[in-house]
Amino acid sequence: MKPLRAIILRCTSSVAHGAIVRVMQEIPFEFCGSLSCRHCRYPGLSDGNQPWFYSSKIRNGVYEGVNHADLMPLDEEIVVKMRDSEALFMYMVTRMEYARKISYEERKRRYLLHLRFWNDFIERYSINIFISETLPHEIPDYIIYELCKLKGILTLFSHTTPIRDTSFVTEDVEESAIQIKERLEELDAQASGDVALSEQLEAYYKEQTQPEGKFKFIYQEKPQNFLSLFVRRILSKPSVFLHWTTFLFSVPAWIRRIRKLGSAWTQYKLRKFYDSHAVEPDYSKKYIYFPLQFQPECSTCPMAGAFVDQNVSVHLLSSTAPEGVLIYIKEHPRQRKQGIVGRSREFYQELLNMPNVRLVKHSASTFDLREHCQAVATGTGTAGFEALFREKPVIIFGHNFYQYAHSVFQIRTKEDCLNAMEDIFERGEKPDLISVRRFLKAMEDTRLHASISEWHISNNTDLTVEKSTHSFADSLFERIQKHFS
């Protein structure tokens, strides 16, 4: 196998970095450019062959020491072929707007700057593999990923699931964990009835199918006390406190604080508007339950693709739903607490203007809404996966690992949506628990049994770092061997 020339993104966790080092012991690497929050060096490579880019600077378009006039110029072909990436990038920039506004002109400038630099970098250093710790969703990670896909370069990244220690090594955002689909087809062909699951997956199945349901995440209604937050985040960390005190006398810092206050006021007004128009759900009516997803987040940008604007999905549902079927919308708890991106008075008003759409009260039980609905609709949310265990059909407007399960209707066109409505409301299509167990078995047989990110390593794993590292390294090695053989 010829030596690899890689771009490696954000592989800073002990598991991710350790796995790549192990792969390098088996497969020769002669170049490795990395982008991350801290510099993780790779043995066996000179400094000149492992350039590092500090992600916090790069995301703002700061490439120190680079004269962009010396880079390979862009032409019409590449600009046109990257148009989908550009559209998502324009939305992705909202991640940086929590205390400022970034104009369209500035977004466009930054996009072209990133595109020009990384197109040149990939060609200049003959990159032939892309590896990321997580699904590429940051700036400029997604541009780099799309450029590599366009040039036929192998892209590998891990993506986690709601099941503890269960991830998948994936090559394509839209195909998600396609290995599940392949294994599920084999299990369906065997048609042997029920399947035996591991102790962990059996426990997960029982949690999700118990009558009272299982809530994976609960967000507090009231914000935490300001003083306790200040002590925990500022006073308890001397270096952070010293950094914070310098901002007491900084004019730009005070401008940012004032803008944050403005955001808090906007958030309050949005909550008031939503609550004044929300209704109690009527469970005697037929309805589709659509829990909105928190934004900005990877689960919609890029995973929902063209449906990153959730009112587009709701409008499609509204226009294709059978007569007498309502769409119940519930805002995400975290969005109410701390998010204004992707929400505005106009956003909610658009939903209210649709005759069969209802905003439901925040106090309404998510479990009850799911239990009494005819279907759950979502971009890519966990609510869709968990609905399968309640034998509810799922309408998904994006790409996630459970898109291959039975009775999951993946929507791209109006015709897809009309067909889904016909199958659900006229033919009574819905998942059964045997097919759900078979899907879990397909997940179990193809998963990366590991926790990759530092958060999961610290808070949500039953595995040792050594075990996760070994599993991730094996998965990467297998994919690389298969591709380059």
| Packing angle of the helix pair 433-446, 178-190 (nearest 10 deg) | 130
Shared-domain flag, residues 401 and 461: no
Percent of the chain with pLDDT over 70: 91
What is the model's pLDDT at position 322? Answer: 97
195, burial (CB in 10 Å: exposed 0-12, middle 13-18, buried 19+): middle
Query: For residue 473, is it within any domain?
Result: yes
| Structure confidence by residue, pLDDT tens digits, 253-306 | 766 767 777 777 888 889 999 999 999 999 999 999 999 999 989 999 999 999
Which range of residues forms the domain containing residue 274? 204-217+249-441
What is the model's pLDDT at position 467? Answer: 97
Shared-domain flag, residues 466 and 420: no
Query: For residue 298, is it within any domain?
Result: yes
For residue 123, pLDDT over 70 is answered with yes
Query: For residue 231, is it within any domain?
Result: no
Query: For residue 15, is it within any domain?
Result: yes
Shared-domain flag, residues 117 and 24: yes
Q: Which helix (H) or strand (E) holds 445?
A: helix 433-446
Rounded to the nearest 5 degrees, what angle is found at the Cα of 339, between the Cα atoms of 362 and 459? 90
Cα(205)–Cα(195) distance, integer angstroms: 12
> Phi/psi at 197 (nearest 5 deg)?
-110, 160
What is the model's pLDDT at position 216? Answer: 47
Q: What is the CATH number of the domain that holds 393?
A: 3.40.50
Shared-domain flag, residues 67 and 173: yes
| Structure confidence by residue, pLDDT tens digits, 201-239 | 999 999 999 876 554 443 344 445 556 766 666 777 777
Shared-domain flag, residues 273 and 151: no
Shared-domain flag, residues 261 and 172: no
For residue 59, pLDDT over 80 is answered with yes
Shared-domain flag, residues 437 and 451: no
Question: ω before 291 within 30° of 0 (cis)?
Answer: no
What is the model's pLDDT at position 14? Answer: 96
Shared-domain flag, residues 365 and 304: yes
Q: 47-51, 69-73, 97-101, 346-350 — which is least confidently predicted?
A: 97-101
Number of separate domains in the chain: 2
Shared-domain flag, residues 297 and 148: no
- Average pLDDT on 391-404 reads 97
Helix/strand/coil percentages in the chain, nearest 5: 50, 10, 35
Query: For residue 459, is it within any domain?
Result: yes
What is the model's pLDDT at position 245? Answer: 74
Name, in order, each residue with C-beta under 8 angstroms of 373's C-beta and a sequence gap of 6 or more.
Answer: 287, 288, 289, 328, 392
Cα(326)–Cα(240) distance, integer angstroms: 50
Percent of the chain with pLDDT over 90: 77
Query: For residue 188, is it within any domain?
Result: no
